Structure 1
Amino acid sequence: MAYKYSKGWYVQQLKNMGMRYHPVGRRKLELYKTWVVRNLYNELQTKNEK
């Protein structure tokens, strides 16, 4: 269980959405900094709202 809005939480949420790797870098999400993972999460959230 990760703290809400921590890097682990963002990675867990992205994996639940089906994303395992970064769409451009093609590396595992765990290898990226928190701000990169947070931006990916926010982008997916805005796409899902539309």
Structure 2
Amino acid sequence: MHVGSKGWYVEQLKSKGIRRLEGRKIERYKKYVLANLLEEKEE
């Protein structure tokens, strides 16, 4: 898996215990949404 790919973001978020956002699985969201969520959680 390449760093910065959608799968990478999903993996990083799951390792932080985030599996759902607004009742939907994170796999259903576009990459830029996942990138913003990860950045928000790392602060």
Gaps of 5+ in 1: none
What CA RMSD, in Å, does the superposition of the two structures yield over aligned residues? Answer: 0.6
- Moved runs in structure 1, 4+ residues, more than 4 A? none
Which residue in 1 is equivalent to 2:8?
9
| Bigger share in strand | 2
Matched, 1:35 2:32: yes
User: Percent identical across equivalent pairs?
Assistant: 47
Deviation track 1:21-41 (CA, whole Å, cap 9, x = no partner) reads 01xx21000000000010000
Tell me how many residue pairs correspond in the alignment.
43
Greater RCO (CA < 8 Å, at least 6 residues apart): 2
Relative to the length of structure 1, the TM-score reads 0.81
Gaps of 5+ in 2: none
Specify the code of the residue in structure 2 equivalent to 1:35. Answer: Y
